[in-house]
Amino acid sequence: MTVRALILAGGSGTRLWPLSTDDRPKPFLPLSGKASLLRETYDRAARVTGEDNVLFSARASHAPHLEREFPGLAAGRLVLEPDRRNTAPAIALAALAVSEEDPDAVLVVLPSDQAVQDADEFHRALSLAVESARAGDAFLTLGIPPSRPETGFGYLEAGRETSPGVREVVRFVEKPPLAEAERHAVSGNHYWNAGIFAFAVRLLFSEMERLCPDVLEAMRAARAAQVAGDGAGFDAAFRACRSISIDYAVMEKARAVRTVPSACGWSDLGSWEAVLEFRGGADGRSVLSGPAIEAGGSGNLVLAGDRPVRLLGLSDVVVIDSPDGLLVMKRGSSDLLRASVEKSLAEGRT
């Protein structure tokens, strides 16, 4: 029984403009301050599965980014989508390819737009999830103990322990209002849903046939066209599929889902405020990168590009300089940033 990993390298990251754009999305950026998020995700996955067993799912337009990041990457390790259709079709398509080589394989799914501070703890938890998934009777996911009330994340409610370090998932919880998030943060039974899964491909197909047969059928048609070398047929079959996430399509209705809690220092780096926190900044502590100088202020995030940036007498400010634009924003304004970027995209502007 082989173990493969699928890294999801899509997304746009509208709260991370001007570094993250539709042409060069968040996974390809070094937001943690080190390598790109994609490279860091690959290193974590390869530690569990081995380097040759890692696949990548991305839009076809992002293939050049993948090839620059991983020169010489074999075409068989790329699952390229002609259009966005969310995670359920992408995962099903990859699982079909994996099952052709090993029908009993375990597939690990990892979003590539996240960061982890404790790689050893992450490896422990993911390895345990993989071993539990080998039984083929449940989906496994990593549960992140909440460090604060968070209304922007989905949660898992955990029940009894099914084996050492593994708990059943009673239900998935949508992004909650603040009062509910405050209760979840201290309950001891609620975890952030990181969207990291491990499961037997046979189980995925069985549950998709029960819960979303149209999605699985569309991906079977797409895969058949792909194997036959019919590019136009592949594009047509893929685009005919509805857009739906793996959570909505399968996980929230599956017969058995379990979680491995892991305090691995996980972050989705979903905003500039999250980037500041992950990189050690907070109230009173700034994070400066590149030719940046600060004086008379604190709690700032300044990522300079090729030109010097001076921030004087200001606190709690985000300044991001890039060839695609300049952002000057008060901390806490990420929703305004997202709305502004989405409005510009709708109007055909950047």
In a structure prediction context, what are the per-residue pLDDT tens digits for the chain, which is 350 residues long? 899 999 999 766 688 999 998 778 899 999 998 899 999 999 999 999 999 999 999 998 888 999 999 998 888 899 899 988 999 999 999 999 999 999 999 999 999 999 999 999 999 999 999 999 999 999 999 999 999 999 889 999 999 999 999 999 999 999 999 999 999 999 999 999 999 999 999 999 999 999 999 999 999 999 999 999 999 999 999 999 999 999 999 999 999 999 999 999 999 999 999 999 999 998 889 999 999 999 999 999 999 999 999 999 999 999 999 998 999 999 999 999 999 998 888 887 76
* The pTM of the whole model exceeds 0.85: yes
Per-residue model confidence (pLDDT) at position 282: 83
- Give the chain as a 3 state SS string: CCEEEEEECCCCCHHHCCCCCCCCCHHHCCCCCCCCHHHHHHHHHHHHHCHHHEEEEEEHHHHHHHHHHCCCCCHHHEEEECCCCCHHHHHHHHHHHHHHHCCCCEEEEEECCCEECCHHHHHHHHHHHHHHHCCCCCEEEEEECCCCCCCCCCEEEEEEEEECCEEEEEEEECCCCHHHHHHHHHHCCEEEEEEEEEEEHHHHHHHHHHHCHHHHHHHHHHHHHHHCCCHHHHHHHHHCCCCCCHHHHCHHHCCCEEEEECCCCEECCCCHHHHHHHCCCECCECEEECCEEEECCCCCEEECCCCCEEEECCCCEEEEEECCEEEEEECCCHHHHHHHHHHHHHCCCC
pLDDT in tens, 285-296: 999 999 999 999
Domains observed in the chain: 3-267 (3.90.550.10), 272-346 (no CATH)
Per-residue model confidence (pLDDT) at position 13: 65
Per-residue model confidence (pLDDT) at position 11: 65
